[in-house]
Amino acid sequence: MHTVHKTPAIALTADTSSDLDADLLVIPVFEDDDLADEAGLDEASGGVIGAARSRGEFRAKPYDVFVGHLEGWKAARVLLVGLGLRKDFTPDRLRRAAATGGLAARQRRLTRLAMVHRPGTSVAPDRAAQVMAEGVILANFDGAPYKTTELPRVWLDSVTLRVGGQGKDVERALDRGRILGEASNLSRELCNEPGNHLTPRVFAERATEIAKGAGLKVEVLDETRIDELKMGLLLGVARGSVEPPRLIVLTHEPKGAPTTPVLGLVGKGVTFDTGGISIKPAENMDRMKDDMSGGAAVLNAMAAISRLQAPVRAVGVIPMTENMPGGKAVKPGDILVSAEGKTVEVLNTDAEGRLILGDAMWYARQRGATHLVDVATLTGAVVVALGKTTSGLFGTPDWWVQQVLNASARAGDRSWPMPVYDDYKELLKSEIADFTNTGGRAGGAITGALFIEEFRGNLPWTHIDIAGTAWAEETRPYQPKGATGVAVRTLVELALDAEAWGKLT
């Protein structure tokens, strides 16, 4: 297996663009942009940039690129990256522009990058430093670790950023962006791993290594301990596999943090999902190796929370299992009993994620969580509702969902609130148990969320359904095909903002 990601050396500078020494100089450009602040750029390109813009070859639509050669500047090449209209500019566009520039450099086998944050926007220097660092680190990722016949990978070795400001706040923001980018790439690495390489036990080993390296407390509960806790939902899903389940518990307890709130993060960790007895179609089943994306997000978010010393107590709970159609597998019509004592009639064994999350939510409450967020590749129904670009947000009360929505906006993880009206619970009614594990096709993402809600107690809770966003089906200028690392940055941004939401009720 090859190295799949690398963090380049990132430095800040106040140099003019002509003095930035790099293999490739990245300059973001707006549609309504005269580039007046980049004096001499068109002349250095021999008039090529001006000509390309005047004839419409480069119109600066979002993430369009144009490459030109420069004479008399320290950087021999320039890459213009479109940002669209200035009025539509956001920090996420700057993050994506940085990723676009980083990927373009690597495609051209260039290792030294410089990028400027243009003046005249509402994005402050510290915010710009963070998102640009995130973007270039996200670009320094390779999703094909097992290929042996391609040319050696080319990595960005050094990145120089000009953000229009210096000082401790900007340096701290740069470090924050570096940690968030690294955590996202670690999550992508795990999600790309095939099911025969990343079993529940191997995931637990990797989680222990990552957690200890970040200064987290980590416990791994084996099948014996899970049975002692009477986690019948997790054990029921695991029954069909020869691989035993694991429950990973991560704890962040920073010095001086108040005893409350305690942020509880729960991530779905199905390392391979066949659907069980309700087996999935063969087409695209290979993708089910990424059904542990929620668990990977929680693991790496907790590591980043610890590295950044977020001033809030947090506990992460990740139930790990395979969902296989073995001789002992749970069958449609079976009744499972949760650790909380609630009974579930299993109508579809492919609705397994909510089962293992139910026991994990209960356990997060036992470990002192006061505010809950679960992350899961839960339903195909959310993809029907929101497509592949937006995660679904479900939860209660509204103010807590809003806090998670705000965090996702800062993180660049697009999400959208969905309803959780009590009427939908009628679809989960069972004649012989407390409720069923599926309510059918209609409103499937909502009933999946409402099943998980049954295990929140009375705590504020938000469910993030990342079934459509955990994996990019096609290559974009800022994102190659494959795992995206979605939700990692959202959870970290939420933890870093605890002082604000911890006061809300």
* Residues with catalytic roles: 280, 354
Phi, psi dihedral angles at 394 (to 5 degrees): -135, 150
Residue with tokens 């580039």: 35
Q: Give the three-state DSSP class for 168.
A: helix
In sequence order, the 6+-apart residues with CB closer than 8 A to the CB of 148 are none
Q: Give the three-state DSSP class for 298.
A: helix
In the chain, the largest separation of any two C-alpha atoms, in whole Å, equals 79
Phi, psi dihedral angles at 337 (to 5 degrees): -115, 125
* CB count in 10 Å sphere of residue 26: 29
Say if strands 158-162 and 217-221 run parallel, antiparallel, or are unpaired.
Answer: unpaired
H or E stretch including 225?
helix 223-228
What is the Cα–Cα distance from 181 to 178, expressed in whole angstroms? 5
What is the Cα–Cα distance from 245 to 363, expressed in whole angstroms? 15
Cα angle for residues 215, 220, 222 (degrees, 5° grid): 175
In sequence order, the 6+-apart residues with CB closer than 8 A to the CB of 324 are 240, 241, 242, 272, 274, 276
